[in-house]
Structure 1
Amino acid sequence: MGTTDDDELHDVTVVGAGAAGLACATDLFAAGLRVRLLEADDTVGGRMRTDRVAGFTVDRGFQVFNTAYPQVKRRLDLRALRLRPFTPGVLVHTDDGMRRFTDPSRRFRESRDLLPGRLASGRDLLALGVLTARDVLAPASRLRTRPDRTTLTALADAGVSPDLVETFFRPFLSGVFLEDDLETSARFFHLVWRSMLRGTLCLPADGIGAVPAQLASRLPPGVLRTGAPVAALTPHGVTLTDGTELPSPTVVVATGQRAAGELLPGLSVPRGRTVTTLYHASTTPPLTEPVLVIDSRRRFLNSCVLTALHPRYSPDGRALVSTSVLGTPDAQAVAAVVRALGEVYDTDTVAWELVHRVTVHDALPAMPAPHPLSRTTRVAPGRYVCGDHRATGSLQGALASGTRAAREVLADLGRPTGH
């Protein structure tokens, strides 16, 4: 087991070392199978990657790590990640100035903006309280089995007014779903809302890439092979782009949806959401608090001062500001975003230096209602597919899908699953 001999027949080849592939390979190896994990890139993580640019620590797109996810609790050593928490809640820039939307049970003294008439009406606050209590207290299984509809419809049915939707929910959830029509499955919304209220949103001290790196560290030597892009699946295994054939009776495709559709012709895959993140350096921090900032006018998805979370994200003492927008903005659109940031942060952004820009295509799968929260990974005899596009667009969804793939492979091979 764990050999690097490419000619040896492996029981299972897993294609893609993102979160789903890492979870799948780990479970299959733990069950005693000979596993090969192939990754096209030079390291693991897929979309969960961290780069060093001019000394700055920048993730491939703004991401947050949620400690409430069941798969996170099961698979990761949170202490080893050296997590840096965001302030609970968000700051909302409105026409009346900045307002704080926070959980009164965590930050009661900072919840004055939840008094009627500031951020929302008394009726809205009551509706929001009932919605929140139901999501936090109800078993997750009940949320998963509710009749599905769009998030926008669910908010209206819960009694949330259009005013609060436009002031808070649409700007906030656009950054969560990477779409601003709120067409995303209400089941997913309720589960996300629940997890945010139950967990802590944070980032590892070394960036989000520390998460897949820790998962990969649990694999024994010889299982993972990086720099090995797969060109095609064959009746006997896989073929790499350099023509190397690797035999394996069982193959699990654990790539993003676009690559999965290419490797498995005929596979139905969802549309992908595209997001661009801008990283600016500023000599003066526009905000000293590690909190997410959103704009009720939706000129950007969200923004935060990453160095308020952890100063070592910057190499020279300057503040590092992360701002995300939908799609792929041109130079004129980027300039408009920077001007909007000046207004929102009430600061001069003219001297801000753009140190990095990253566009992530298929950053999340589209999840319009009705949306199944989990789907079988079986495609054909000996062929499986997993990833967040087979579940929900989240780390939890990716890990859960990889877990399901391993469980279904083991079941089909007549092996005990162990969980």
Structure 2
Amino acid sequence: MKRQIPNAREILELVSFKKPELDGTKRRLDAALTIEDLRRIAKKRTPRAAFDYTDGSAEGEISLARARQAFADVEFHPSILHDVSKVDTSTTIFGGPSALPFGIAPTGFTRLMQTEGEEAGAGAAGAAGIPFTLSTLGTTTIEHVKAANPTGRNWFQLYVMRKREISYGLVERAAAAGYDTLMFTVDTPVAGARLRDKRNGFSIPPQLTARTVADTATHPAWWFDFLTTRKLEFASLTQTGGTVGELLDYAMDPTIDYADLAEIRAMWPGKLVVKGVQNVPDSRKLADLGVDGIVLSNHGGRQLDRAPIPFHLLPEVVKEVGADTEIALDTGIMNGADIVAALALGARFTLIGRAYLYGLMAGGRQGVDRAIQILTDQVVRTMKLLEVANVEELEPRHVTQLERLAPRARD
């Protein structure tokens, strides 16, 4: 082979120098290509107790691990020779539109993760054209979330508390603020055993210990934001002292029943959705009662460990009640391909919790925007590779749930 002296001009035609990004937050977020990348950034930038509250689940954290594994154990079956130069990710859910087949799930204590909190989530959701759900245990009021997302869809997640008048007042405020969907949550009669939180002494307000003080030195930006921004305010609770478990037990009521569901239904003018459904018979009963939708969820693995995996339960519930009510799903979603798989098996919609919070902790509002963009790109790419042009074309034939945890036969 004949050799030659490298020609600088030819080399420059083959390569180009990347313009340096001076904005540290943008540079950090642009480098994140997956939700797991955002998680790693969040872990570096957030004190341990706050990060573990988000990242952790109940007891041995088996439910969460199984939920994520269930999505990993998916085999896709693409079609061929379909025009997918353009794909439509829009859908309708609970009486209104969404530009994407996912929305932001309710999360508690969100401003402890990063001080922009729910307002960053609501603003990002509004910009993306997707719904935002405020938790009863959110750290931003109903009215402030509405101000952050004035023209978008806002939903409210309701715990029926021991003091019923508090819950009733929240329902009235959400209706007055124009929220269009109420998520009546039924999987939290008491707080789950969040062992990471107990070991970290995580509380509201944060308790300073020797380890907390040491952690401060490695996360000065987080503490500066926390100490120089407005005081935490909750959507509902007037009692704000104590561990997370104590606060949850103060708010939750193990006596709630179908009469409470009927009472809230009578009060609420919008769509009523029941969140935390975990079996087929309950799905059937709720559909017969005429609820507007159900959310298959085990609370992100944060309540009953070893609870049913929503993604595994999905096909059975769709077969039983899919013609009668809309079905949404959460727990374990870390990739847009997870969302596509859920839609193919009959879910009308999905909700993301931790995925959005990792973005929030990684970069505030910009981080939430980045999380939504990552999932959007993954949804679009997966649809194109499956060769479906819109979400309505997704069908069970596109997905096989590979079995890892098959029930043992009984005698």
TM-score, normalising length from structure 2? 0.24
Q: Whose helix proportion is higher, 1 or 2?
A: 2
TM-score after normalising by structure 1: 0.24
Higher strand share: 1
